[in-house]
Amino acid sequence: MRVAVVGATGLVGTKMLQVLSERNFPITELIPVASERSVGKTIRYKDNEYKIVSLTDAVALRPDVAIFSAGGSTSLAWAPKFAEVGTTVIDNSSAWRMDPGKKLVVPEVNADVLTPEDKIIANPNCSTIQMVVALKPLHDRYTIRRVVVSTYQSVTGTGVKAVEQLMNERAGRSGENAYPYQIDLNLLPHIDVFLENGYTKEEMKMVLETKKIMGDDSIGVTATTVRVPVMGGHSEAVNVEFAQEFELDDVRDLLRNAPGVVVHDDPAQLKYPMPLDAQDKDAVFVGRLRRDESQAKTLNMWVVSDNLRKGAATNAIQIAEYLLKQGFLKQSPEKAQKDAISI
């Protein structure tokens, strides 16, 4: 595979390169892409140096796959240009997620919606990804009616500047801020911009994306998203109302056997998921499983995952792996012929 990573120098782009290496994705030619100020610099991948190229040059190279993590405006402008030359784009921004003509994919949940014709595929929001991985097996068995979720999201979800703000505040240093308020020893019930309905854009992403990924508009979702002074992963308190009754032991078994899920649920031994447990891992960790004693057929659970890995880089690469396994990434005869001519 000829693979482009767009936004290769950012937090998520760097993590994408790490995950591609760890999972031994079959790269025959790596094309790192970044902003104009980075063009010509080099990055290291598997003991080799690669020169960063511009978006224009990357399109001209006609990669088989382009994995984007460069912001919505870049994706809107450039993903179609890559698609026009036969490249399959997997985009980590919010640009295409709610486009009715684009698939929004978490491989453990809905990879089967993908076809060879899907040339721009959306990677969901990090907080949505980990939640739906845990919800999918439960929905299949009990049918979810409503989800109430509160998130506790790592500063890494904002980017390098947010990490630097937290570290500067912790060390008593001044510096540029990513947030309107102090984040160390504090939390901000405010992720992304506020909308007219009083919710933030992050909260509405969770509402709308969950329905699309699960393929069920009847699921009610309401969310409160909170930024906390944590690195390592996002945590979520999830309250799930079902149409059918459940047994907790059956719920644990379903989750233990679900792809991508690890159950850490032993209160007697103080065993429950934490961001430090999830850091640098690809699984979604679930614990604190218990009935909601205030309402019938309702479950409480705690869901934790590394937002840079499963919440972004790993999910995108799992999509690419699925496409490859299905044979959807094979070059078309026309594209292969063009490549042969250009060589």
Confidence at residue 332, expressed as pLDDT on a 0 to 100 scale: 44
Confidence at residue 329, expressed as pLDDT on a 0 to 100 scale: 87
CA distance 251 to 269: 20
- Report the candidate in 145, 93, 154 with the shortest Cα–Cα distance to residue 304: 154
- Characterise 248 by phi-psi region: left (phi > 0), alpha (psi -120 to 50), beta (else): alpha
For residues 305 and 311, the answer to whether their CB atoms sit within 8 Å is yes
Give me the residue spans of the domains in the chain: 2-95+311-342, 127-307
CA distance 109 to 224: 23
Confidence at residue 330, expressed as pLDDT on a 0 to 100 scale: 62
Tell me: domain 2-95+311-342, CATH 3.20.20.70, correct? no
Confidence at residue 312, expressed as pLDDT on a 0 to 100 scale: 97
| Residue-wise pLDDT tens digits, 226-264 | 999 999 999 999 999 999 999 999 999 999 999 999 999
Q: Break the chain down into helix, strand, coil percent, rounded to 5.
A: 40, 25, 40
Cβ neighbours of 217 (radius 10 Å): 9
- Report the candidate in 136, 138, 146 with the shortest Cα–Cα distance to residue 246: 138
pLDDT at 53 exceeding the cut of 90: yes
Three-state DSSP class for 36?
A: helix
What's the residue count for the chain?
343
Structure tokens belonging to residue 291: 């009935």
Cα separations in angstroms, 320 against 5, 107, 226, 227: 12, 10, 31, 30
| Residue-wise pLDDT tens digits, 154-163 | 999 999 999 9
| Residue-wise pLDDT tens digits, 154-213 | 999 999 999 999 999 999 999 999 999 999 999 999 999 999 999 999 999 999 999 999
CA distance 179 to 313: 24
| Residue-wise pLDDT tens digits, 276-296 | 999 999 999 999 999 999 999
For residues 123 and 319, the answer to whether their CB atoms sit within 8 Å is yes
More confident residue, 301 or 338: 301
For residues 89 and 70, the answer to whether their CB atoms sit within 8 Å is no
Residue recorded with tokens 């190229």: 53
pLDDT at 342 exceeding the cut of 70: no
| Residue-wise pLDDT tens digits, 76-90 | 999 999 999 999 999
pLDDT at 132 exceeding the cut of 60: yes
Confidence at residue 340, expressed as pLDDT on a 0 to 100 scale: 39
Report, as residue numbers or ranges, the catalytic residues.
126, 234
| Residue-wise pLDDT tens digits, 133-144 | 999 999 999 999
Q: What is the DSSP letter of 200?
A: B
Confidence at residue 50, expressed as pLDDT on a 0 to 100 scale: 97
Cβ neighbours of 304 (radius 10 Å): 29
Residue recorded with tokens 């699921």: 219
How big is the CA angle at 249 (ends 244 and 254), to the nearest 5 degrees?
Answer: 70
Cα separations in angstroms, 338 against 62, 81, 107, 332: 9, 16, 31, 10
Tell me: domain 127-307, CATH 3.30.360.10, correct? yes
Mean pLDDT of the chain: 95
For residues 92 and 68, the answer to whether their CB atoms sit within 8 Å is yes
The fraction of the chain above a pLDDT of 90, given in percent, is 95
Confidence at residue 343, expressed as pLDDT on a 0 to 100 scale: 33
